[in-house]
Amino acid sequence: MKTVTINTLYKLKQQGDKFPVITAYDAAFSRLIEQVGIEVVLVGDSLGNVIQGQDSTLPVTMEHMAYHVSAVRRGNSKSLIVADLPFMAYATEQQAMDNAARIMQAGAHVVKLEGGAWLARTVAMLTERGIPVCGHLGLTPQSVNKLGGYRVQGRDEAAAEQMINDAIALEKAGIDLLVLECVPATLAKTITEVLAAPVIGIGAGADTDAQVLVLYDMLGLSPHQLSFAKNFLAETGDVTAALNAYAEAVRTGLFPQSEQSF
């Protein structure tokens, strides 16, 4: 696999070629991901759930994120590495700049922020300073207490219109990628068509430009199998084969199916 950049992903979208994204938190899995040629690795604050055993992502700190980003980067020199800024790490523009610099210096290529149009000024400030940004709309786990739990977002017309407007505002501010989590497939399709930036879905139907799964969900190692996930290890019996099967299923449009969509 050649080294993946933001330009690589834009070219894939323009060609109509879907690409896989997977989470990783250590060098060993990151190395396997590079070997099978998955374009994007997300070092997510989901590590709070799957690595630390927390009941949410809120306890994850910048120290945790920098540690895991550096480990993932040491195992993988080809994939594009996207890293979450954790809860309250970008509450102000100065915080966002300081913490984005820190996570980039740890090895990330792109920083990911959860939130809508209210983040536009922060996104513009980061991108003006050479820091690529990935937005995140829909179910935003850092806001789980405000949202009232882990629920599908954008079901009614007003909420859907707001999400479309948020996506457009974020792109105008400079985002290079957008994650849509747990939104109706029709809404995700609309947003994907509206934006020039590649859109990465999770529980958002099959029409986004890419799909992302938490590694441990894809391997069936999480305590509860989520409705939008699939256990590829059960089908293959081998971790590397499971990663290959997931990547191939995304690229060919075999994942997700309707039963993994809302």
Retrieve residue 221's tokens: 């190692």
CA distances from 104 to 139, 149, 181, 195, 202 (A): 25, 31, 24, 25, 24
Retrieve residue 153's tokens: 């977002």
Residue 15, classed as helix, strand or coil, is: helix
For residue 258, count other CB atoms closer than 10 A to its CB: 9
**Which helix or strand (DSSP H or E) is residue 252 part of?**
none
Retrieve residue 137's tokens: 């709309």
Which of 63, 181, 235, 248 is flagged as catalytic? Answer: 181
**Which helix or strand (DSSP H or E) is residue 34 part of?**
helix 27-36
For residue 32, count other CB atoms closer than 10 A to its CB: 20
Is residue 181 annotated as a catalytic residue, yes or no? yes
Do the beta carbons of residue 91 and residue 119 sit within 8 Å? no
Strand-pair category, 177-181 with 133-138: parallel
Q: How far apart are CA 163 and CA 165, in angstroms?
A: 5
Which residues neighbour 259 within 8 Å (Cβ) at sequence distance 6 or greater? 227
Question: Where in the sequence numbering do the catalytic residues fall?
Answer: 181
